[in-house]
Structure 1
Amino acid sequence: MLDWVESLRSLFTNEIDCYKRLLDWEGKKRQAIHSADGRALESYVKESYHVMVEASELERIRMKTIQEVYEKEKFENKEITLTNFLNQMDRESNYKLKGFAQELKSAVQELKEAIIVNDKLLRTRKDFLQKTIDTLHEHEREKVYTSSKQPIRRGQGQQSAVILNATA
């Protein structure tokens, strides 16, 4: 087997593992968002950032290795993409790497979808919180009646009667 094929298999394996770890962190972030645990979310974001840096470095190394193979094997100088690369190599090498490439693409797609879902959840939480705050401020200015039927301003011992359903 060619050296570069084994090297790329190893890189693919490491990169796939890295993206799967990122996917796990996204799952933890989702739980923190659901439970409104800001401290845990902040911690998970910091941890996932380190894994993201690792994934970025692995991708850089993989692309550099692919570039070197392009030059060494004298592949056509098309745009250097994983698909173009796989299409230009010999059948045996393609067979050995194609499964890893598909798994990598799948892991990246799953991660992308998880990030989008978490972003939407976070935005929804933020919008809900903002609407709650706006509603409370709005009701703070309303006049209410005391037991002696005298109007007073909210904030002078009166509570606002705002009920919001966070699970809706």
Structure 2
Amino acid sequence: MKKAIFLLLTTGLFSAFTACAQRPSPQAKVSETTSAGVKITIDYSQPAVKGRTIGKDIAPYGKVWRTGANEATWMEVSKDVKVEGKALKAGKYGIWTIPGEKEWTIIFNSKSNVSGTAYSEADDVLRVKVKPGKSASFTERLTFTIAKTGLVSLAWGDHQVNFNVK
């Protein structure tokens, strides 16, 4: 009986320690009302670079990526907008990307409240292609910013990916 209790206690403590040691990436949310009166909100988790190579070790080039960590990243727009000149209705969308060395595809998906591994191309609403650039400074954790002009920027490592929402 004592062995059974000891085994249960040590297993429970090990499980609790393991759960604490594997903290998910921190949650972040950014929101801005543009000069055109569109409220843009992005909710995401912030994975860290941790010495890895973007495009190889993390967010592999040419593959659909959840654009964050944990649950899928989502973006909500309060009015009908144009993203890089293409129409997107007001609403809440999952944001996925296909990173590339010379081009990133930004994907707006009708499923916004899903696991970060539950992507389905059949649910895509809009895809736009943008050119990535080098960020002004290294950003350890993935960070989104939204300017009053509607410029949305993703900065991570030495990468910066911008797209316009008007």
Please give the TM-score of this superposition, normalised by the length of structure 2.
0.26
Query: Larger C-alpha radius of gyration, 1 or 2?
Result: 1
Higher relative contact order (CA closer than 8 Å, sequence separation 6+): 1
Indicate the structure with greater strand content. Answer: 2
TM-score, structure 1 normalization: 0.26
